[in-house]
A and B are shown apart, each in its own frame.
Chain A
Amino acid sequence: MSGFDFLTTRLETALGWGRKFSLFHYPFITACCGMEYMSAACAHFDIDRFGAGLTRFSPRQADLLLVVGTVTHKLAPVLRTVYDQMLEPKWVIAFGACAVSGGIYRNYAVVQGIDRIVPVDVYIPGCPPRPETVLDGLMKLQDKIQNQKQDWRWARKP
């Protein structure tokens, strides 16, 4: 391993560490899963312990999109726009059965999983998921961020 490779590997590790513990999330909340989100976000379960405590209400300042609840076809363009407005690097969590797969709704109105609209990194099942499940999903996302190829300004692109 050359000296340069060693340095960039260290840099990637440091970047991953920094990014996984400073997730600014944007809550895209449409339904009852929002209660579990609030519970996970507030003092009892406290996602701030995992570095994801800063909720941003502008997608331009966020790097984690939490899609919490049912997304209908009427809402689909809005979700797509919000995702497009977020800056790289960005991650998406599908929170709850409806966001994962449409859940109990199989009809003309509901999108059958938000992965048909935006790419999803972590799926959290449950109707609604317990806050512990949410924290588990968050930790899985942190593992993913730590181990993925980091993108940074002068990174060599393939």
Chain B
Amino acid sequence: MGPETLIDAIRTKLGPAVEGVADSCGDPVLILRSDSVRASMAALREAPFDYAVLLDLTCVDFAAPEGRLELVYHLFSLSRNVRLRLKASLPAADPAVETLVGLWKNAEWLEREVFDMFGVRFEGHPYLRRILTYEGFEGHPLRKTYPWRLAQPRIPLKDGE
């Protein structure tokens, strides 16, 4: 399956879940509707696409006037040795998306990290708790609305901060 036929096949399979196709340095990027992320991923995981590995799941905060977060998923197919990048936009006010934990087990920690850093709620996640920052940390430090360089010390420090 070449790149073009692959994209066509995916679009045929997923239908309206694919909002568009972008190009990043020659690699295809699929833009998904945020409410159909899980169903699309479930389809891509099965034959003939066979994306068996969730390589990465991360998030980008576009500090646009309306506030927009973009989830970025990287998939990898072991049988065909190809990668695929997918994106889904979320509103910054109350970002929520379905969890992928049932499909890929490593999604559990990846989603916890995105929750910790960006505050995205993953619905159906079995244990959505902070993973990198500590208990008592307030806010989500990689959001553009997080105050610049605001530290939250756990013990009293000398001269401020």
Contacts and interface: CB of A to CB of B under 8 A. Distances in A.
Greatest chain B CB density within 10 A among A74, A107, A108, A112 is at: A108
A80 interface: yes
A73 interface: yes
A51 to B, nearest CB: 31
B145 interface: no
Contact of B133 (A74, A112, A117): A74
Contact of B141 (A106, A108, A117): A108
B142 to A, nearest CB: 9
B141 A80 contact: no
A115 B146 CA distance: 26
A109 to B, nearest CB: 7
- Would you list the 8 A-B pairs with minimal beta carbon distance, nearest first? A116-B157, A116-B158, A108-B141, A74-B134, A77-B155, A73-B153, A77-B154, A108-B151
Interface of B: 133-134, 141, 146, 149-155, 157-159, 161
Nearest to B134: A74
A76 interface: yes
B130 to A, nearest CB: 11
A111 interface: yes
A108 B154 contact: no
B157 A117 contact: yes
B155 A80 contact: yes
